[in-house]
């Protein structure tokens, strides 16, 4: 059965969300100054702190992904999750960069639950470990890393690069059990998955951290930046799992062709 006009519209919207790295632009609009200039002013120690904090936060989110995400299908509670993340952003706005290490695991975990809401609403079976890990990969979409070029920054290119890593990680955890996995974060399959996602997510986290270091940003600005942050990934989640839903209905080739033509 061919794609309907409504489904083609969904694909067009999904492509816009997944391949338009708008987060930095929106943060720039919010704070009234170029985010790139602020990032360049970050000290080297800050970059290391952000990189380490991002990996640790993703490890915390990985625990949530394999332990607690359930398969109950429901409408996404975007505003509830957005409110929680805005509250953590407000707290982080008071503290500055040092508060990022504390705030980031909380924020990413709440975002992961929001991403799971979108996955369930699109028919994903979260009783399957690979699908729970697929929720984690949403952090890699919609943000380009500094090493990207036009050939490897597209949604399907990133997704293809992640697919084998997700599969290996799921096989590793399934073969050893969730309890063992919790003590084996050094396992190559899990390290590679976290590293691949952290490489792309780190760009967004760096932009967020740089903006929150603006002296006048304060609690209100921290909340606003976190609102942009979660809204960005809620959109990426809707888009990613919409594409997967349509692939289940019409086949990957038909959906990819429509995506490329959109």
Given a cut of 70, is residue 152 above it in pLDDT? no
For residue 248, the model assigns a pLDDT of 96
Q: How many domains does the chain have?
A: 1
Range from 48-62, 76-90, 123-137 carrying the lowest mean pLDDT:
76-90
Measured over the CA atoms of residue 136, residue 120, residue 227 and residue 92, the dihedral's sign is negative
Closest alpha carbon to 224 in 50, 65, 7, 29: 29
Print the domain residue range for 149: 5-261
Distance CA 12, CA 33 (A): 31
Distance CA 94, CA 72 (A): 37
Instruction: Check: CB of residue 225 under 8 Å from CB of residue 208.
Output: yes
Given a cut of 50, is residue 150 above it in pLDDT? no
Closest alpha carbon to 124 in 157, 76, 163: 76
Given a cut of 70, is residue 194 above it in pLDDT? yes
High-pLDDT (> 90) share of the chain, %: 21
Answer with the residue of higher pLDDT: 191 or 95: 191
For residue 151, the model assigns a pLDDT of 43
Given a cut of 70, is residue 72 above it in pLDDT? no
For residue 141, the model assigns a pLDDT of 87
For residue 184, the model assigns a pLDDT of 52
Closest alpha carbon to 239 in 140, 94, 95: 140
Closest alpha carbon to 111 in 196, 224, 235: 235
For residue 94, the model assigns a pLDDT of 47
> What pLDDT, in 10s, does the model give residues 95-146?
556 666 777 888 888 888 888 888 989 999 988 888 888 999 999 986 665 5
Range from 19-33, 43-57, 116-130, 146-160 carrying the lowest mean pLDDT:
146-160
Cβ-based neighbours of 163, under 8 Å, separated by 6 or more: none
Q: Residue length, the chain?
A: 262
Instruction: Check: CB of residue 185 under 8 Å from CB of residue 59.
Output: yes
Q: What is the DSSP letter of 71?
A: -
Indicate the helix (H) or strand (E) that contains 64. helix 44-67
**Structure token digits, residue 157:** 């290119």
The 10 Å Cβ neighbour count of residue 31 is 18
For residue 124, the model assigns a pLDDT of 92
Q: How many CA atoms does the CB half-sphere of 228 hold within 13 Å?
A: 23
Mean confidence (pLDDT) of the chain: 79
The pTM is what? 0.83
Cβ-based neighbours of 58, under 8 Å, separated by 6 or more: 108, 136, 139, 194, 197, 198, 201
Which of 100-109, 150-159, 195-204 has the highest average model confidence (pLDDT)?
Answer: 195-204
Output b/e per residue, 223-254; b: 16+ Cβ within 10 A.
bbbbbbbbbbbbbbbbbbbbbbbbeeebeeeb
**Helix, strand or coil, per DSSP, at residue 187:** coil
Answer with the residue of higher pLDDT: 55 or 191: 55
Answer with the residue of higher pLDDT: 56 or 238: 238
For residue 237, the model assigns a pLDDT of 93
For residue 77, the model assigns a pLDDT of 61
Distance CA 231, CA 115 (A): 11
For residue 250, the model assigns a pLDDT of 96
For residue 256, the model assigns a pLDDT of 95
For residue 148, the model assigns a pLDDT of 53
Measured over the CA atoms of residue 144, residue 145, residue 150 and residue 151, the dihedral's sign is negative
Range from 11-20, 65-74, 77-86, 112-121 carrying the lowest mean pLDDT:
77-86
């Amino acid at each position: 059965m061919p794609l309907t006009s409504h489904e083609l519209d969904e694909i067009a919207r999904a492509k816009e969300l997944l391949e338009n790295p708008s987060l930095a632009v929106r943060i720039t609009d919010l704070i009234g100054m170029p985010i790139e200039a602020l990032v360049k002013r970050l000290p080297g120690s800050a970059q290391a702190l952000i990189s380490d904090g991002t990996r640790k936060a993703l490890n915390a989110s990985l625990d949530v992904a394999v332990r607690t995400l359930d398969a109950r299908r429901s409408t996404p509670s975007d505003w509830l999750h957005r409110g929680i993340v805005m509250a953590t952003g407000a707290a982080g706005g008071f503290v500055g960069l040092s508060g990022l290490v504390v705030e980031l695991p909380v924020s990413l975990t709440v975002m992961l639950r929001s991403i799971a809401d979108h996955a369930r609403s699109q028919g994903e079976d979260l009783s399957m470990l690979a699908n729970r890990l697929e929720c984690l990969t949403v952090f890699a979409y919609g943000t380009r890393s500094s090493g990207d070029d036009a050939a490897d920054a597209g949604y399907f290119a990133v997704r293809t690069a992640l697919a084998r890593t997700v599969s290996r990680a799921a096989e590793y955890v399934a073969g050893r059990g969730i309890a063992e996995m919790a003590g084996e974060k050094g396992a190559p399959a899990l390290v590679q998955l976290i590293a691949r996602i952290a490489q792309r997510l780190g760009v967004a986290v760096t932009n967020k951290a740089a903006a929150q270091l603006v002296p006048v940003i304060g609690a209100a600005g921290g909340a606003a930046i976190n609102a942009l942050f979660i809204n960005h990934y809620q959109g990426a989640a809707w888009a990613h799992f919409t594409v997967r839903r349509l692939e289940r209905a019409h086949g990957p080739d038909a959906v990819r062709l429509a995506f490329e033509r959109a």
